Structure 1
C-alpha cells in the first residue's frame, strides 16, 4: 500500500492509447465510478446511462476521508449517497484508510494505516505493514500530490488497493471512471481522457486489464448541471449552500468566505 512520493506527483501518462480513443463500453466486465457524490462524478455516471450502460453494471466507490469521525467529511454525504444509489439502482461500496486523514496527519513513528474496502462478499482490510515513519503535517495547498497528500492517501491509493486486492478483477476488463474536468485547473487540463490505470496489469500473470476514463474532462460546468437536471438529480447540500464543489468540509483549498461559513455551521 505504500508508494514513493515521486509516484504521487503524476497520476497519469502510463501507456496512452491512440489519440482520440474512447472506451468500448460494451466490452467491460466491471464499470466503476469513483463517486464523491459531487456534481462531476454524478455527471459521469449519468453520461454512462445515456451511453447505454445499464445502472446494474455500475459500481460507485466512495472513499470516506474520516473513517471514524466527522472532521473532514460532510457528515450527511454518505447517507445522501445511499439514498441516491438506491434511487438510481447503482451498487455502492464504501472504503477508507483506517483513521482517515486525521490519523495520517498525526502519524508519528508508525506505518501508514491499513485500508479497508467493501466488496460484493464483505469487507476486506489490506496494508498497514510498512516501515515506521512520521508525517505530522497538514496537507499543503499544492497541485503536487506528494505534499498535498490527502488526495492520494485518503482516496487514490485506497482505490488502487481495492483494485489490486480483489480476485474478481483478475482475468477481466475493468473501466475505472473519474470526474476531473479540464476547466477546474491547469493541472487537470493536462490529464489524459483515456489511458491505462496505474493498477492495470494486463500484461502480467493475472491479466488485470483496467482502463481509466474521464468522460466529462472537456465539459463546461453548465453542461454538468444540465445533465443533472435532465435526470432529476438533486445535488447534495453543499451546492445548495453556495459551495462550488463537494470537496472535504474542511478542505485546505477553502476560501475565506467558505471558512467563515464553516465556522458558522460547525464552530
Structure 2
C-alpha cells in the first residue's frame, strides 16, 4: 500500500513538474528580443528567383495579378513569414551589432528584411484581391513594425527603415483606394498607424551615431581597415594612390585637424 502511494506521489510530482515547465516555456515565448525570431526566419527563408522578384514588383505596380510562381514562393516561405510577423509584434529588437568595428560593422539582416518585406507586400496583394483587406493592411503594418526594428542606429539602417515605411504606406494607400468603406476597419487602421509611428526613425539620431563612429575611424590605426572596406580598386589611379601614401605617413596632428573639420561639417 505504501509502495503504491509512493509511486502515485512520484507520478503526480513529475506531472506537475512537466506542467510547470511547459507553462514557463509558453510564458517565455515570444522572446523579449525580436531579433531572435527574425534570425530564425532568415535561416528558413528561401530567396525568390529574379523572375519571381520581378513578378512581385509588377504586382506592386498593378501590372499583373498574383502568379502561380509567386504563390508557390509565399507557400514555401510560409513559416518564415509567420516568424517575422511574430517578431514584428515584439517591442524590443537588438540585432547584436558589433559597433566596435566602426564603419565595417556587419548588418546582414538589412537585405533579408527587405526581401521579406517584398514577400509580405505580395501576400498583402493576394489577400486584397481575395477581399480580405483587413488582413492585407495587417501585412503592411507588419512592415511598419519591421521598419521600427531596423531602427536608426546608423545612416544605412535609417535609409532602409525609411524605405520600408514608404513601401508599406504605398500599399496601404492602394488598398484604401480600392476597398469598400468600412468604418470599423478604418478606425482600427488609424489606431495601428498611430501606434507604429511613435518610434519613427530619426535622421538626427542616425547622423549623431554616424558621426560618433566616423570620429573614431579618423585615426592612423584605422587606415588599413578603411582601405580594406573601400576595395581593391579604390587606390588604382595615381591621384588616389598618392593621397593614400600621404595619409599613411601623416602625424597625429593631421588626424586631429581632420576630426575637427568633420565634426564642424556634421554639426
Could you tell me the TM-score, scaled by structure 1's length?
A: 0.26
Structure with the larger helix share: 2
TM-score normalised by L of structure 2:
0.26
Q: Which has the larger radius of gyration?
A: 2
